[in-house]
Homo-oligomer: A and B are copies of this chain.
C-alpha cells in the first residue's frame, strides 16, 4: 500500500522529519511517499489565513501530480490547518485525511477530552473552525499557542521543547484533558518524549493520519463521491498553475 503525504510548506527539512514520523507509525506493508512544493511554489511556513490560501493551492497541485503519475492508495494533508482537504477529496476516490482531523479523532479515543498545543496563537481561530467542523467542540477543552514559529521547529532547541512540554502539562493537569494534540506537523518528533513527560497520551497528527488512512484503504473505504465530493466540473488550467515548478519528493 502506497500513501502520499503532502507537506504544503516548502521546508525540505520539515518534510523529511514528517516522513520519518509517518514511516515509524506505518504497518510493515505501507509505503510512505512524502512531497512538498518547490521553493517559491508554496508558503515557507503556514501561520496565517493567507498562508493557508497558498497551502491549499499547493495541496491541490500535489494531488494532481500524484494522480497523473498513477495515484496512491491514500493521501495525507500534513499541515495542522488541513488546508485544501475538501478540494483534495473531490480530486480522488482514495481516502484523504488531514493531520488535524486525524489527531483529534485519535485523541478522542483515548478518553473523553483533549487539548491542543500549537505554534502561534493567531492560528487558534483556524483550529477552532476545525474542532467545530469535526464535532469535537465538547471534547476539546483547551487550545493554546506557544508563540513558537513553525520554522523554529525544524530543529527545536531545548528551551522550545520545554515550553511546549509546559503547555502540554497545563492542558492535561489544569484543563483536565485526557490527551494532548500537537498542533503542528513540525512537532512530530517530540511526541514520544512529551507523552512520557506529561503522563497522558500526546498525539501527533502525522502518525494518526497514517493509521487512519491505511485502515480505510484496508477496509476498501475511500472518499464518498456522492455529490459534494464528486469529481468537480472541468475547468481550463489557470495561467498561474502553469508557472508552478512542481513538487519535491523528500
Contact = CB atoms under 8 A, between A and B. Distances in A.
A88 B225 CA distance: 31
Interface string A32-67: 000000001111110111111110110010000000
Interface in A93-108: 95, 97, 101, 105-106, 108
A17 interface: no
A13 interface: no
- Count class of interface residues, chain A: 35 or more
Contacts of A110: 95, 216, 221-224
Copies of this chain, count: 6
Nearest to A39: B239
A98 to B, nearest CB: 9
Interface of A: 25-29, 40-45, 47-54, 56-57, 60, 84, 86-87, 89-91, 95, 97, 101, 105-106, 108-112, 121-126, 128-129, 132-139, 149, 172, 176-179, 192, 195, 199-201, 203-204, 207-208, 210-212, 214-216, 218-230, 232-233, 235-236, 238-245
